[in-house]
Amino acid sequence: MSSYYRGNGTIQLIVTSADLPAFLAKLSEQGTVLRNIRSMDALSAQLQCSRAELHTIEHLAAKFGANIEIIKEPENVLYTALHRPVLLLTFFLFLCLLTILPTRIYFIQVDGNAIVPATQILEEAEKCGIRFGASRRLVRSEKVKNALLSTLPQLQWAGINTSGCVATISVREKNTNEELTPEVGIGNIIAKTDGIIQTCTVLNGTALCSAGDAVTAGQILVSGYTDCGIALKAVRAEAEITASTIRSVSAVTLLPDVIRGEQIHEETKFSLRIGKKLINLFKDSGISDTSCVKMYTEEYLTLPGGFRLPIALVTQRCIYYAPCDTWDPNWDSWISDACRQYLLSHMQAGQIVMEDTHIRQANGLCGFYGKYVCLENIGQFIDEEIIK
């Protein structure tokens, strides 16, 4: 005799009994579940039952004098699985993933940074071996932590914790707020540049100038020594001195060949970024003239939970403009503003009171010359050398 084993665990039987309805009714009273009952003749019926209920049916059949014939024996589970290659391959891949995945890092995040950007920490961490697919044991090694600290001097401490496939780089930044130490020593205040003194407010030391005096660069305006009659007092000179100064700025620059005219064409191109490699999905040399403006946007693939994969769709929008051979009317204003900003950046504190500028364009060049009357702070402290 043999039985037929299906994936759902059922066995096909042929039951022969003198009182078949009473036998089936008795099985139903005992809670035995029978499926697909099909009558063959007045004394026999074909049905299906679970393998666990086979013993109950055989025991009751012995009491009723019924005959149980098992159509087919259940096939061996291992034998059945060996004849299903897709199932075996899936199980093997699942076992490999279950073994390999927990040993690798696929997501990296930064915690504890306030000044150093997270992108900078991630870039340096990748150079040290903390990257997508890195080994968990390698990531947690002291060698990697020390390498990360050596590449980022702004960090005081770094630790790497792993949870599953996620690595968290916890950092502590150095304290950049240095304690202010009181200024000590002896020194004078000199003039940083030539000018005519407008105001002179001395907080410490002896004033050697007053409002209306013309001074030259390097001249001592406030001395750190005070004559007290029987003794000479040496201090650190402190004062706020403003003066009218005259400064000049000259510059020569190239004029632009063309300026943008009306927009004539626009197109969108797509690329795929995997890690640091960019794969263009279009055919183009990538070289454009000055009449083309390009704008890039990157959209990274993000999993639920906020973890970003190193895969991004790059959209490149190109806008083409018609060339125009006329000079840009705002060019003179631009170079004049640039020279004013340059002048103000070289002042300790001050403003421009008057200006006289000249601009000349010739042979593709733009020459600028400006003369400015400024009101600025010209006091500069210098330490006094003490010789015993």
- pLDDT tens digit string along 176-213? 554 444 555 678 888 888 888 888 888 888 888 888 88
Question: Under a CB-based contact definition with an 8 Å cutoff, are residues 375 and 348 in contact?
Answer: no
Range with the poorest average pLDDT among 18-32, 66-80, 143-157, 230-244:
66-80
Give the residues across from 46 on adjacent strands: 14, 38
112-127 pLDDT, tens digit per residue, is 888 888 888 888 888 8
Q: Which tops the pLDDT comparison, 54 or 78?
A: 54
Could you give the CA distance from residue 173 to residue 157 in angstroms, rounded to a whole number? Answer: 7
DSSP for 33-61, please give it. --EEEEE-SSSEEEEEEEGGGHHHHHHHH
Give the H or E element holding residue 128. Answer: none
For range 8-16, the mean pLDDT: 77
Predicted local confidence at residue 133, as pLDDT: 82
Question: Under a CB-based contact definition with an 8 Å cutoff, are residues 130 and 108 in contact?
Answer: yes
Question: Under a CB-based contact definition with an 8 Å cutoff, are residues 51 and 40 in contact?
Answer: no
Domains within the chain, CATH numbers bracketed:
10-77 (3.30.70.260), 102-173 (3.10.20.310), 189-241 (no CATH), 251-255+327-378 (no CATH), 259-324 (no CATH)
Structure tokens at 177: 């707020």
Q: How many CB atoms lie within 10 A of CB 242?
A: 20
pLDDT at 5 > cutoff 60: no
Where do we find the tokens 């075996």? Answer: 88
pLDDT at 327 > cutoff 60: no
Structure tokens at 128: 């040290």
Predicted local confidence at residue 154, as pLDDT: 84
Give the gyration radius of the chain's Cα atoms.
Answer: 45
Taking each continuous run of H as one helix and of E as one strand, the counts in the chain are 8, 24
Structure tokens at 302: 């993000």
